[in-house]
Amino acid sequence: MSNTFRLAAQVVRAGPHHEVDAEGRLRPRRGGKGPGVVYLGNVVTTLIHGLQEAATLTMVKPPKFDEQRWELDVKAGDLSVRIHSRPYWGFGLFTKGYLNVLEFSGSDALRDRAVFDLVAALGQPPWAFAWPAASDRILSRLGFNRSEHAKAWKDGIQRGRDGLLDDIRTMEERRETVAKRLHAYLDDVGDSPTSTHRQHRLMEADEDLEHARKALKEDHAPGVERALARAEAALIEVDPLDEVPTSGQSEGVTSVLSVEDDLDVVDLT
């Protein structure tokens, strides 16, 4: 597949929490001992929960006797990930004897962000295999030795981190442009309730940009996005070119950044 980035990840936990229905759709298991049980594992569930858009899940190869051996396609917007779940040690008798091969397809930015979010939320390095020597056979098929494979993961994480830093810098540049327009506006109109409000919102934008940088140091992408979304909303109210209410609410303004619920923060450094 063109423009595809392949990595392997150690599975740590898995359970009978999903099933494939009669039409081949993957869904949460509702109980009972019926056929079609799938052990997705912590890597895939973490990946799905961390995607920036709603995901479409297609079970390409449903499990048969081995509920943890399958192939799944995950599509979210312009990003696609095909996951192959395979045993690599102990004949598949233990959960940690499985790994997932993940094939990320899409733009570099989308793939790197997915890698960054996945590792941050997993809580352990996915390249740290429970049985390193046993992983060599599968890694060699991907074109890696163990050190090269670990580096590929880490490089993807760093590129995802750099992408978030670029987002912060872009918002900081916008802040400087808006601040210059505000200063020119204040020279013309002087003190007024509107002027005071705009200056107050500029200080709030500065605080939010600082929060964004702190969140990035913790590799907390949702925290970065929330802070940037707040800064964006504040700058809309600051900018004299934008006619918006001065009550602290930006009615009719839709942020270009998504704001999601909190996720666990994991320091990757």
Of 9, 75, 13, 236, residue with least CA distance to 228: 236
Please report the pLDDT score of residue 258 as a whole number.
43
Token digits of residue 91: 């004949």
Cβ atoms of residues 186 and 193 within 8 Å: no
Check pLDDT > 80 for residue 188: yes
Please report the pLDDT score of residue 263 as a whole number.
44
Confidence band for 30, pLDDT divided at 50, 70 and 90: confident
Confidence band for 31, pLDDT divided at 50, 70 and 90: low
Please report the pLDDT score of residue 14 as a whole number.
84
Of 195, 216, 230, 231, residue with least CA distance to 267: 216
Domain coordinates in residue numbering, the chain: 4-144, 145-269
Confidence band for 187, pLDDT divided at 50, 70 and 90: confident
Please report the pLDDT score of residue 16 as a whole number.
80
Q: Which residues contact 238 (CB under 8 A, 6 or more apart)?
A: 178, 179, 182, 198, 199, 201, 202, 205
If one compares 3 and 78, the residue with the highest pLDDT of the two is 78
Please report the pLDDT score of residue 239 as a whole number.
93
Please report the pLDDT score of residue 245 as a whole number.
43
Output phi, psi for 44, to 5 deg. -70, -45
If one compares 209 and 96, the residue with the highest pLDDT of the two is 209
Percent over 90 (pLDDT), the chain: 59
Please report the pLDDT score of residue 56 as a whole number.
86
If one compares 162 and 189, the residue with the highest pLDDT of the two is 162
If one compares 268 and 110, the residue with the highest pLDDT of the two is 110
Distance CA 184, CA 205 (A): 19
If one compares 186 and 192, the residue with the highest pLDDT of the two is 186
Please report the pLDDT score of residue 32 as a whole number.
58
pLDDT tens for each residue of 193-240: 888 999 999 999 999 999 999 999 999 999 999 999 999 999 999 999
Over range 182-194, report the average pLDDT. 84
Residue type, 132: P
Confidence band for 262, pLDDT divided at 50, 70 and 90: very low
pLDDT tens for each residue of 51-62: 878 788 888 888
pLDDT tens for each residue of 158-175: 999 999 999 999 999 999
Over range 14-21, report the average pLDDT. 81
